[in-house]
Amino acid sequence: MVRIIDRRFDSKNKSAVNRQRFMRRFKQQIRKAVSGAIEGRSIRDLENGEEVAIPARDLSEPSLHHGRGGTWEQVFSGNDQFSAGDLINRPLGGGAGGSGQGKASNEGEHEDDFVFQLSREEFLDLFFEDLELPRLVRTQLAKVTEYKTQRAGFTADGVPANINIIRSMRSALGRRLALGSPYAGKLRELQQQLDELLAHCNGDQACEDSEEARALREEIERLREKIEQIPFIERFDLRYNNRIRVPCPTTRAVMFCLMDVSGSMSEERKSTAKRFFMLLYLFLTRSYEHIEVVFIRHHTVAKEVDEDEFFHSRESGGTVVSSALLLMRDILRQRYANGQWNIYGAQASDGDNWDNDSPLCSQLLGRDILPSCQYFAYIEITAGEPQNLWREYARIADEQPHFAMQRIESPADIYPVFRELFKKTIL
């Protein structure tokens, strides 16, 4: 006798182990593909899983098989033009009709990349391996979830204060109609009979008071009473507004991107800075449910702008870095001062500042900004000697553990520098 077994609810991820092993084995290649993958994306577009391509050659499994060459004789189907003895030109690239073509797929020679999907978690894990969020301790403490109530339809029970009148009346009306309808039909029928009878009588009193009419009237009366006995509203009809508690994230973070757009910052340097900001943004998405980004760009004056303008519009002029820091401080005080925000800052500059301004910068940073920040990173994008801003900041870096600074010379440095900045530290 046949056995039919429903296995749909059995364990699903039998291949999970194999998948993990695959990932472990090709970690190097996958990691390389992952860091290549972020280059072409906008800052906020990085949260999705990533399709990763690694060269098929790296993961082919070798086997003993025939290669091309020698003689092959093969049968094909669909002859439309050939007779025995015909000579055919060798098709280019082993296309259809070529001998040995069926073999090609066995040879492990295709150059196509092996493409597969990483989940968002896997993608970010690979990306931020060995990195840990700075000052994680405080963040962890802040992760207590708060609840707020919100509406969620209607329920059949609740407290009187929540009764929804329209809904309740509507269902009462429906119930009354449903329960009364058999009587109402009967009532109409009797009423019609009575009307006919009375019309027949032509005003004759004896006829109108006859036995038959009386019986009808009594019956009508009885039915009316029955209909009236149906209660106007019942407990059953009551509907209550439903309110549920939903967790609302308090782990909010704001990230300030500060960038120098003075004449000395070339497009190339800006794009380097952009990648750095992208990394930081990605990194924060790992830990916070809600992130706001504030873009501040400056030359001699600072301005808050949107992302597009931040990266793409051109300005020139001198450099006063403190203007950006001042603006950041003001925005902090206005919008993010209520203690519910984790504040991160990232500043990119070529380090070329107006000389007298640099001490002011370090003062602003050290006194006003750093105390409320979780972390502040400064990168100097320059190939030459450290500039005056660097020297000023270097003093702060010694005193403040959550301030970090690094120099980037070319885009290739970004990732290592990023790792360096956010290296696991025991606090």
Partner 1 sequence: MTTAATRKLDPLPRGSEWSIESIDRYHTEIARVAAHYRLDTYPVQIEIITAEQMMDAYASVGMPVNYHHWSFGKHFLATEKGYRRGQMGLAYEIVINSNPCIAYLMEENTLTMQGLVIAHAAYGHNSFFKGNYLFRTWTNADAIIDYLIFARNYITECEERHGEEEVENLLDACHALMNLGVDRYKRPPKLSLAKEKLRQQERESYLQSQVNELWRTLPAHDIHARPESPGRFPPEPEENLLYFIEKNAPLLESWQREIVRIVRKIAQYFFPQRQTQVMNEGWATFWHYTLLNHLYDEGLLADSFMLEFLQSHTNVVYQPPYNAAWYNGINPYALGFAMWQDIRRICENPDDEDRHWFPEIAGSDWLETFDFAMRNFKDESFIAQYLSPKIMRNFRMFAVLDDDRENKLKVSAIHDDEGFRRVRDVLSDHYNLGAREPNIQVWSVDLRGDRSLTLRHQQHSRRPLGDSTGEVMKHLARLWGFTVRLETVGADGQVELHTEIRRDKRRVGDTG
Q: Which residues sit at the interface with partner 1, rule CB under 8 A? A: 1-8, 10, 12-15, 17-26, 59-80, 82-90, 96-100, 102, 107-109, 114-117
Evaluate whether 256 touches 344 at the Cβ level (below 8 Å).
yes
Find the shortest distance in angstroms from Cβ 91 to partner 1.
8
Please, which residue, 12 or 151, has the CB nearer to partner 1? 12
Beta carbon of residue 333, minimum distance to partner 1 (angstroms, whole number): 48
Q: How far is the CB of 119 from partner 1 (least distance, A)?
A: 11
The DSSP result for 246-259, as a single string, is: EEE---EEEEEEEE
Closer to partner 1 by Cβ: residue 24 or 148: 24
Q: Which is nearer to partner 1, 6 or 398 (CB)?
A: 6
Residue closer to partner 1 (CB basis): 96 or 426: 96
C-beta of 44: minimal distance to partner 1 in Å? 24
**Least distance from C-beta 263 to partner 1, angstroms?**
48
CA separation, residue 236 to residues 156, 174, 180, 233, 333 (Å):
8, 12, 16, 8, 54
Kindly give, in sequence order, each residue whose CB lies less than 8 Å from that of residue 388, ignoring residues fewer than 6 positions away: 351, 353, 355, 358
Least distance in angstroms from the C-beta of 32 to partner 1? 17
Q: How far is CA 298 from CA 263, 269, 331, in A?
A: 11, 15, 15
How many other β-carbons are positioned within 10 Å of the β-carbon of residue 255? 22
Residue 36 CB, nearest approach to partner 1 (Å) = 19
Work out the number of other CB atoms within 10 angstroms of the CB of residue 176. 17
Q: Which is nearer to partner 1, 18 or 28 (CB)?
A: 18
What is d(CA 138, CA 70) in angstroms, rounded to the nearest whole number?
71
The least CB distance from residue 93 to partner 1, in Å, is: 13
Which residue, 26 or 154, has its beta carbon nearer to partner 1?
A: 26
The C-alpha atoms of residue 105 and residue 91 are separated, in whole angstroms, by 17
Judging by DSSP bridges, how do beta strands 252-260 and 240-248 pair with one another?
A: unpaired
Q: In Å, what is the CA distance from 161 to each residue of 20, 239, 246?
A: 55, 11, 21
Nearer to partner 1, 71 or 205 (CB): 71
C-beta pairs of 329-334 under 8 Å, 24+ apart in sequence: 329/364, 329/368, 329/369, 331/256, 331/294, 331/296, 331/304, 332/369, 332/372
Nearer to partner 1, 7 or 151 (CB): 7
Q: Which residues of 341-368 are buried (b: 16+ CB within 10 A; e: fewer)?
A: bbbbbbbbbbbbbbeebbebbbebbbeb
Shortest Å, Cβ 413 to partner 1? 32
CA dihedral 139, 143, 144, 149 (to 10 degrees): 140
**C-beta of 101 vs 250, nearer to partner 1:** 101
Q: CA-CA distance, 195 to 189, in Å (whole number)?
A: 10
The answer for residues whose C-beta is within 8 angstroms of residue 276's C-beta and 6 or more apart is: 346, 348, 379, 408, 414, 417, 418
Name the minimum Å distance from CB 54 to partner 1: 10
Nearer to partner 1, 120 or 176 (CB): 120
Cβ pair 53, 115 in contact under 8 A: yes
